[in-house]
Amino acid sequence: MNKFRIGFGYDVHQLQEGYDFWLGGIKLDHSKGAVGHSDADVLIHVICDAVLGAANLRDIGYHFSDQDPQYKGIDSKILLRQVMKLLREKGYEIGNIDSTVCLQLPKVNPHIEAIKKCLAEVMEIDEDDISIKATTTEKLGFVGREEGVSAYCNALIYKK
């Protein structure tokens, strides 16, 4: 019998003009970008946290501290590759990823297939094992005021 585990991730980044906006490894055209120590890719960060949590490997901040200068401006795809390496070292594989991005603008839906393709390549899993959903907050809260972006993710992993 396979051993299954579930992990959950949540992340928020402030949006400001003058920054690139990265989401799921893809640079989106927008007047504002996410602010963070790395490239502030909120979707990759929640996937990392969900996978690490499922494998009982703590969280993204534990492995890639925002106080460490080597991670300043780093491409989050590099972090995700490292997380997948840690996961596989513990003998686990991804069952599936289910994520939701909360963002008023830009619209995420037109980019979902490209994001899934990018993430599947980085994680070395099937695109069909990655679900990405997007929602607005109907102009409510920091997301609705376009001050920030948030994301949630569940990850199912199993022992190989």
Residues 28-56, mean pLDDT to the nearest whole number: 97
Which pLDDT score, from 0 to 100, does residue 75 have? 97
C-alpha–C-alpha distance, residues 36 and 19, integer Å: 10
pLDDT in tens, 116-133: 999 999 999 999 999 999
Which CATH number do you get for residue 73? 3.30.1330.50
Q: What angle do CA 64, 24, 100 make, to 5 degrees?
A: 100
11 is in an annotated binding site: yes
Task: Report which of 91, 94, 114 is spatially closest to residue 43, judged by C-alpha positions.
Answer: 114
Residue 100's CB is within 10 A of a number of other CB atoms, namely 17
Domains in the chain: how many in total?
A: 1
Residue 109 DSSP symbol: G
Which pLDDT score, from 0 to 100, does residue 114 have? 98
59 is in an annotated binding site: yes
Domain of residue 49, residue span: 4-159
38 is in an annotated binding site: yes
Q: Is 2's pLDDT higher than 80? A: no
98 is in an annotated binding site: no
8 is in an annotated binding site: no
30 is in an annotated binding site: no
13 is in an annotated binding site: yes
Residue ranges of alpha helices (H) inside 23-150 are 42-54, 60-63, 76-89, 112-123, 141-144
